[in-house]
Amino acid sequence: MQACTNPPVRQSFDALVAGGGPAGSTTALELSRLGFSVALVEQDDYRTFRVGETLPPIIRNRLTSLGLWEQFLASEPLRSHGIRSAWEGANPREQDFLRNPYGCGWHVDRARFDALLAHAAAQRGAKLFLSARISSIHEPPGSAGILPERVTDSRHAGKMAVARRANAPPGVWLLDCTINGKGVALSGRMVVDATGRRAVVASQLGAHAHVADRLIGAVSVCPGNETEHWTLIEAAEEGWWYSAPLPGGRMIFTYMTDSDLWKEARWAELLASAPLTSERANGFRIPPPAHLFPAATLIRQPVAGADWIAVGDAALAFDPLSGQGVIKSIDCGMKAAATIARHLKGDSSALAEYETWVKDSHRTYLTERSQFYRSVQRWPQARFWKRRAAHHRGGDGLVPMVARDSAGLWGRDRPHP
């Protein structure tokens, strides 16, 4: 018996959002609120571990703006009382959130948080496609100027081809994916790349990443409870440590260093070299890291073009030291949604203004980041710190962020743009 080979019926939308992290989901949510039809395509089902577990107090401002504050509280995050950091010196300093106008920070299960945003977008009208493996994003047959490259991307577990015609009119983008072995065909007037640092759409459309460093994170999660829910940041000779409690009776220990300096075999030695982190780890069985993730500062240029736009880490990615990754992604999604709305209504200046906004945001972040890495003078000959000092002296703008006056990870809480 011959299998049916009829292609799936193509579903049409105003915007196709590839990637269901905070930036992609916020873009979809806001576009839906503005009355546009949106497909939100996410490669998994939010059951796997995701990095990024502590949210600063200002998150209340963002989630309230999105109408999600009560839903967030119902997801049972842990309150974060503040930040202890041993950065410029070995003695810890504290930033207590007690006096913060937005209240406490929050330790979250990042997969659950991301799922909350995605399902909120669906509740507002976006169509959510989970466990969707994107195979291609392209224009209809007959398009001129197609890019032939194919890229292998682990986020989408397969090869994804991106093709595009120069100066294409709206309404020509096609996206094909499979869900549980079944083909799904989508079309849209605008494509949104929210696929994270790989930027699998934007990179195939000519956008290039300008990367500041080689920073990576090595993550270990173990069972354990603490009565004091504080984030701990501790500088070390060839990097720095981050540790915090997680919901569900777990602890996370993360070591940040440059990729060429990382050696998993030295995990126990590296932990022992950070006295405060080592002391915190006493009583817990800390396994070797189960996850490595890229964490370099980068900006992609351009971040928008003819009927496409990059958001979140696909546009610009911050060093985790900033503590602003999720905030930045939400802000970027909100800005992108407003930009797309203007563009689809015929505003020819919208995409250029978004590009300027991204560049300005990146420039401001680099200036602040510089201050905090430069403040560590304890290991002047260590390669990790020498590189960051050299970046500053070279004036190339590749520059850190732990508020020196309050010794906290987040320098200033800012309202959304």
The CATH number linked to 159 is 3.50.50.60
Task: Choose the weakest-confidence range: 58-62, 227-231, 356-360.
Answer: 227-231
Residue 26: the pLDDT is: 99
Peptide bond into 57 cis (omega under 30): no
Q: Are residues 131 and 258 in the same domain?
A: no
The CA distance from 401 to 383, in Å, is: 19
Q: Is the pTM of this model over 0.85?
A: yes
Q: Are residues 45 and 150 in the same domain?
A: yes
- In a domain? residue 217: yes
Q: Are residues 89 and 150 in the same domain?
A: no
Question: What is the average pLDDT value for the chain, to the nearest integer?
Answer: 86
The CA distance from 319 to 270, in Å, is: 20
The CA distance from 246 to 375, in Å, is: 29
Q: Are residues 133 and 248 in the same domain?
A: no
> What is the pLDDT confidence band of residue 98, given thresholds at 50, 70 and 90?
confident
Residue 141: the pLDDT is: 44
Q: Are residues 33 and 127 in the same domain?
A: yes
> What is the pLDDT confidence band of residue 407, given thresholds at 50, 70 and 90?
very low
- Count Cα atoms within 13 angstroms, Cβ side, for 70: 1
DSSP, collapsed to helix, strand or coil, labels residue 247 as coil
| Residue 366 CA to its chain's centroid (Å) | 17
- In a domain? residue 26: yes
- Give me the mean pLDDT over the 324-350 stretch: 97
Q: What's the burial of 321, exposed, middle or buried (CB within 10 Å: 0-12/13-18/19+)?
A: buried
Total domains, the chain? 2
Residue 391: the pLDDT is: 61
Q: Are residues 245 and 306 in the same domain?
A: no
- In a domain? residue 334: yes
The CA distance from 362 to 160, in Å, is: 29
Residue 103: the pLDDT is: 95
> What is the pLDDT confidence band of residue 122, given thresholds at 50, 70 and 90?
very high
Please say if the pLDDT value at position 81 is more than 60. Answer: yes
Tell me which residue of 95, 53, 63, 24 sits closest to 311, measured CA to CA: 24
- In a domain? residue 415: no
Last residue of a domain, one of 274, 294, 314: 294
pLDDT tens digits, one per residue of 207-220: 999 999 999 999 99
CATH at 263: 3.30.9.100
> What is the pLDDT confidence band of residue 172, given thresholds at 50, 70 and 90?
confident
DSSP, collapsed to helix, strand or coil, labels residue 243 as strand
Q: Are residues 166 and 264 in the same domain?
A: no
Q: Are residues 332 and 283 in the same domain?
A: no
Q: Which residues have C-beta within 8 Å of that of residue 52, sequence separation ≥ 6?
A: 110, 320, 325, 326
Please say if the pLDDT value at position 398 is more than 80. Answer: no
> What is the pLDDT confidence band of residue 347, given thresholds at 50, 70 and 90?
very high
Question: Please, are residues 218 and 289 in contact by the beta-carbon 8 Å criterion?
Answer: yes
- Give me the mean pLDDT over the 293-322 stretch: 95
Last residue of a domain, one of 250, 265, 294: 294
Domain residue limits at 252: 77-106+213-294
pLDDT tens digits, one per residue of 139-155: 544 433 233 333 333 34
Higher pLDDT residue, 32 or 368? 32
Q: What's the burial of 310, exposed, middle or buried (CB within 10 Å: 0-12/13-18/19+)?
A: buried
Q: Are residues 300 and 288 in the same domain?
A: no
Q: Are residues 17 and 122 in the same domain?
A: yes
Residue 257: the pLDDT is: 97
Please say if the pLDDT value at position 61 is more than 80. Answer: yes
Residue 402: the pLDDT is: 37
Higher pLDDT residue, 31 or 410? 31
- Give me the mean pLDDT over the 85-101 stretch: 93
Residue 392: the pLDDT is: 52
- Give me the mean pLDDT over the 34-62 stretch: 94
CA angle 178, 184, 188 (to 5 degrees): 125
- In a domain? residue 375: no
What percent of the chain stands above pLDDT 70? 84
- In a domain? residue 123: yes
Sheet holding 208-211, edge to edge: 208-211, 298-301, 316-317
Last residue of a domain, one of 245, 273, 294: 294
- Give me the mean pLDDT over the 166-184 stretch: 77
> What is the pLDDT confidence band of residue 113, given thresholds at 50, 70 and 90?
very high
Q: Are residues 276 and 304 in the same domain?
A: no
Q: Where does 224-310 show beta strands of DSSP type E? A: 230-236, 239-246, 250-258, 291-294, 298-301, 304-305, 308-310
Q: Are residues 278 and 240 in the same domain?
A: yes
- In a domain? residue 328: yes
pLDDT tens digits, one per residue of 275-298: 999 999 998 888 999 899 999 999
- Give me the mean pLDDT over the 310-326 stretch: 94
